[in-house]
Chain A
């Protein structure tokens, strides 16, 4: 099975900060990596698919990147509504898997 690890598990930041977190796949998954935002009591929201393509309606302050089996999600200027948990997910294999998540908290 393909394993995904995310780092850090949590981070504290302020409004306006630039934040970047990482998702590492246990093997090559090409660009088959997606990012979701999850807030308590709300359904997850697809932010980025194919490693770097922004889903429609998602603000341009979100961006995704890839270097080999390492993937990044960057928020260029953190907004109050961005405090949430972010999950990566691979679709390379039909045994779809999610990473453990990175929680973005208020500093």
Chain B
């Protein structure tokens, strides 16, 4: 069964730091681009960041560029999101998402997001 399991969420203060993790299973992790998508309380879905299968390419939403860093360890089937200088408006459920490509394996630019984790809640508050 294809599965994504996030961890690392919690309460952090503005200006602190936090690292989210996502362990993947049931598919060849190193063949797929991976992403983070978030949903703030009462708000819609917001794409945060995407990383290519090798880590060679990384894309960020304007709202997090320069503060968040996406990375991956293919030997551990794990995706990360390092959150630095968080703000109150970063409060959200963060989802780890697998990329889907129409032509099969999905190295850098997914056509869609097909497998989602259950999410981990991050609250930024003093």
Report which A residues bind B (CB closer than 8 A): 1, 32, 34, 36, 38, 43-46, 49-50, 53, 55, 85, 87, 89, 91, 94-101
Contact = CB atoms under 8 A, between A and B. Distances in A.
B61 A95 contact: yes
A49 B47 contact: no
A97 B45 CA distance: 9
Contacts of A50: 102, 111-112
Contact of B111 (A1, A32, A98): A32
Contacts of A46: 100, 112-114
Contacts of A97: 47
Interface of B: 35, 37, 39, 44-47, 50, 59, 61-62, 95, 100, 102, 109-114, 116-119
A98 B111 CA distance: 13
| B-side interface mostly | strand
A96 to B, nearest CB: 4
Contact of A38 (B45, B50, B117): B45
A89 B37 CA distance: 12
B53 to A, nearest CB: 14
Contacts of B37: 44, 98
Contacts of A38: 39, 45
Contacts of B100: 46, 49
A91 B110 contact: yes
A51 B61 CA distance: 23
